[in-house]
Structure 1
Amino acid sequence: MLAPFLIMLREGLEAALIVGIIASYLSQTGRRAWLPAIWVGVLLAVALSLFAGAAIQILANGFPQRMQELFEAVIGLVAVAVLTGMVFWMRRAARSIKAALHADIDEALSHKGSAGTWALIGMVFLAVAREGLESVFFLLAIFQQSQDGAAPIGAALGVIAAIVAGWGFYAGALRLDLRRFFGWTGIFILLVAAGLLAGSVKALHEAGLWNGLQERIYDLSRILPETGPLGTVLSGLLGYREAPTLGEALVWGIFLAVTLTLFLRPHAGALPVRPQTAGRK
């Protein structure tokens, strides 16, 4: 439950920050009449994400058992790719995202008549849809690989918390050190992605496509089962496996060694700056 909550909080918070920056800029520049276009873009993006998730799930239910294992592996690999890409994109873009959005808004509204409205809707739609589709792949992967029956509740609570936080940023009632927040959650997401990657290797084996490095490193199923309370938390947070194979452990360790090294290294030529905060002054 904790892993889906934190992931959806971060995904939802990214979308909420983007929407909040756009809405705040329109209000500050005397263009509140354009605000309804934001909600049209948000609703279209949410609808697309829900449709995509339902379509993929319905398609998967019609597969035979071995194909379902392959599908689980593919979804897990896609989720690892989008989560990792999201972490590194936010690491690069966090400092300039506000200025970039302001420039995009001015360009969109420079069009005459309804063209400006549709340009703004499209801008919001693409920004929110990206977060929504990333969330779809993550949730499909975590629901397929997780033993935690409360995972959907955690995901829903994460979305609700992100919406509340987003409104707080827009209203100026909430401030957050974005650089620190995205830094710590970035490390957490890389840990979750490593667990999903190891789970995908297991699914590839069950699908009959990977049969190497199947020696068990240890078996803690009687001491710390994945279905137990602590095992469920460790599985969601750190990718814990009660009886991992050598292949699963290798991809888990190699992935973390590479991604954490790249993520934690200082920005090239970066100078110390004051922590960024969200919310209007």
Structure 2
Amino acid sequence: AARSIRAGLHEDIDRALDAGSGGAWALIGMAFLAVAREGLESVFFLLAIFQQSPGPAVPLSALAGIALSAVIGFGIYYGGVRINLRHFFHWTGLFILVVAAGLLSSVLRNLHEAGIWNLLQDPAYDLTEVLPLSSLPGTVLSGMFGYHDAPAIGEVLIWALYLIVTLTLFFRPQAAKTPKAVPVAGK
């Protein structure tokens, strides 16, 4: 699948560049605007952090984060040629499913806090002593996967049901695709 996507993208780009109808300028402009937008967002975000921080720790941490992301970016760029795209998309797909399950359980928690959903709100378990939400690992897990140290039964159920359904669909065997018959030109 990755090879066919790549081939299709290359064909579309070549067609846009060869068309002579301004497709090349549109492609260049789109890439420029996308990068410029992300750059401006980063500048505004960092400017706000720099102005609100009392000492040098936060700005230095932000600059270290930028440097680290540049190193990771170069690593991905130069190492990306060797990456097996099938495995890469498989693992990132699994990661996205777990993130989505956490988002779904967070939605249920927010609906309860808004007074819209009040079923299954008894605590399922309490990990406040083991992994509190206020700790660094708890905060990271909360931000990435929707972790909560004392979730309600409904949150755990919706998280588990979502993962059961999506992982079943994700891991189901794909039907073998039979190649289409190509007519042979007669002599």
Per the normalisation by structure 2, the TM-score is 0.65
Q: What are the residue-to-residue correspondences of 1:1-150 with 2, within 5 Å?
A: 94-112=2-20, 115-121=22-28, 124=31
Partner Cα distance (2:176, 2:167) in 1: 19
| CA contact 2:128–2:150 (8 Å) conserved in 1 | yes
Q: CA RMSD in A?
A: 3.5
Shift in CA distance, 122/210, structure 1 to aligned 2, threshold 3 Å: farther
1:167 to 44, 61, 77: 77
1:219 to 118, 122, 126: 126
Runs of at least 5 residues in structure 2 that lack an aligned partner in the other structure: 39-60, 179-187
Greater Rg by CA? 2
CA drift at 1:196? 1.6
Amino acid at match of 1:267: Q
Q: Does 1:262 align with 2:175?
A: no
| CA contact 1:191–1:239 (8 Å) conserved in 2 | no
| CA contact 2:103–2:145 (8 Å) conserved in 1 | no
Amino acid at match of 1:263: F
CA drift at 1:240? 2.9
Shift in CA distance, 123/237, structure 1 to aligned 2, threshold 3 Å: closer
Q: Does 1:193 align with 2:100?
A: yes
2:109 to 189, 192, 202: 202
CA drift at 1:253? 0.8
Partner Cα distance (1:193, 1:158) in 2: 26
Shift in CA distance, 233/112, structure 1 to aligned 2, threshold 3 Å: closer
Partner Cα distance (2:110, 2:132) in 1: 19
- Structure with the greater relative contact order (CA < 8 A, sep ≥ 6): 1 or 2? 1
Larger helix percent:
1
Runs of at least 5 residues in structure 1 that lack an aligned partner in the other structure: 1-92, 133-151, 272-281
